[in-house]
Structure 1
Amino acid sequence: MVAGVAVLAAALTVVLLVHGTREAAPAPRVVGETEMVRVSAPGGESVEELALFDTGASSSSIDEDLAEDLGLDPDDAPTVKVRSSLGVEERPVVGVVIQVAGNTIPARVNVADRDELSTLVLVGREDMAGYQVSVGRSFLTRPDEAIAPSTAEVIFLETPALLPKTLLATLPLCALLVVLLRLWVGVSTLGTFGPVLLGIGYVQSGLMVGLVLTVSLFLLGLLIQVLLRRSFVPRVARLGILIAVVATVLAQLQSSASSAGDVASWGAAIPVVVTATVIEALWATWDEHGARVAAREAIVTLCVSVLIAALLLTPSIRHLAETVPVHFAVACLLWTWVAASYKGLRLSELLRFAPAARRAATGVAS
């Protein structure tokens, strides 16, 4: 049975690799809904920013603070009437050059307050001539060339890097990685699949923001544990209190970020219940095995979460999950089945028992 599943998984993997090789690099004129672009002013100043390619908007737009950073003067610029969801308003128009996928687009863009929007740059239909927007995909190009940005370039962006459909397609890959780490390597984490959801949170919020929030919540959870121990509350009540505290902290941070003009959805990106459950597992490990083991497993959990986030943002993985999500998910499911059939010693156990095995072999030989 397992052999048949392995053959089927191998065949489907070959099909995916062939598909990925054939379509790994999008055509030079294909862009995603969200891309990194370089905006340059006539004076020579330029910045790289995240841009939304919106086929529903006729003209392009940039944020007023971005215009100031580029040295542009909207106050002395001509104005144009723009119809938006807020009604008809007059906006100043300035000239810039937008670079995307290695091509330059001379554009007349209107200047508006985009602090509350998802991107500081919007590219409308007037400046998309010759470009095709691939709906449901993002980060297909760099500003200076028509190839997907690397994992390191995407993972630190404080914006959702994967759409829900793509995330669903990559969950079986995350499950496969967890099975390999636990059954083959012997890695122990705080919760079996907690690192998976934390990693997905890092993908959606940005790695640095996610790590800072997680470590802060871990420390807060340990402080709460000290207080709750004196109250002798039951486990369900402890978890309920912890969930409420985590949600309150994230809500306050989100509110503060919104007031400062930051649109990152930390409260939605960092899974509250999962974070609380992981912290509870940290409590239990601390009580049963001591602070050293708890600290080690917390560090391992964070490392696995970062590994998962980096894996999900690998260009080839994103490409397959976006273009053939069902086939990709099925292939990962089959390989997970194969990996789960392993019954031998884990790598950590082999390393632990290796000295004893060598001593036993030396004794038999003598």
Structure 2
Amino acid sequence: MSEPAESVDLIKLPVSQLTLGMFVSAIDKSDKGQLAITNAGQIKHKDAIVRLAKNGIKFVWVDTERSAEHCGFKKKISNNIPTSKKSQLTREKQQEQAQVILTEAKDLIRKVLAETFEGKAIEVKPFETLADSMIESVFLDEDALKCMSALRSKDAYLLEHSVNVAFLLVTFGKYLKLDREMLREMAVGGILHDIGKIKVDNKVLHKPGKLTPEEFEHMKLHQVYALDIMNETTGLSQISKDICLMHHEKLDGRGYPRGLKGDEIPRHGRMSCIVDIFDALTATRCYKEAMSPAAAFKILLSLTPFHLDRELVYEFIRCIGVYPVGSLVELSDGRIGIVWASKDRDALHPIVKCFYSLKAKRYTEVTMVDLLKSELHIERGVSPSSLDIDPTPFY
């Protein structure tokens, strides 16, 4: 079995070579194409090694970064990232880092929403710093940030939606090979894209049902409010303003606030329309459950070519993948799992972290299933709301 994609610090060792202090990250079940990770931890007693051998385990994956120094492992060096970041992070550490970025982002947005409500001007610099951290995280480990972004709460929709739109714009822009300055400006625009909603009546903003025509017209005013806020913000690039002010425009000219049409909407503006709709569809709201990414993709395609740019929608689907990292899937054996890693793989064969059996209706041993090494396949994508379980602890 090839090395798991989640960390280049993992090495495969026979159980006979294990010593005290080594950190066992996964148990290799090569005959089943699986990695069991329920027994992860540092070996502190020889009895643990004896138990592995008695249970018929021949190989394990050892995390060299988390093993004791006396084990003699040397850190691996990657040539793909700057020297200052050569020490590779494990998936757990990468997700912790991603969680810090997302928490900082939500805290900053919460603070700015409060200040904007009080009539204070927005300072752009903190958002640029946050955008830089987000871009760096995407370039280091896109999958870790995707997994963290998949954890959502309907009560914090406005905050999480703004962060996810920024993250998706960076991911999409990186896929399209846009330069870093462009990515930064798009990220800032994504974070601020719904800033005008701070002035929308809360009864309309959080209504748990379909809006009346009058309420919808009031909701649309958030773009008018956003225009006023953008005009009072110094140092904000035109691209950031475009992301904020164009994500409700339509190619046929029937969007708002300005009714732009066709080429009047630049590519980054069209990207913001796609990303905004996709994230809204895949989020749980007070009035609807979350859709699976696959179902959301179908809706995006149905909105072309009159609303959305068809070519860009196809590019977005290729970028995110049919089964995005962090999404839930059902395997052909009836198990539910989280798409855990997809880098350098085709869309249909990611690594899936399985934790629940639909057939048995119970939680199972947590295992990593490498679909390139297994006879199993993905049966379908599922939305969290369609299951009677909480997948949050397994991210």
Structure 1 or 2: more helix by fraction: 1
Question: TM-score, normalised on structure 2?
Answer: 0.27
Larger radius of gyration: 1
- Looking at both structures, which has the greater relative contact order when contacts are Cα pairs under 8 Å and sequence separation is at least 6? 1
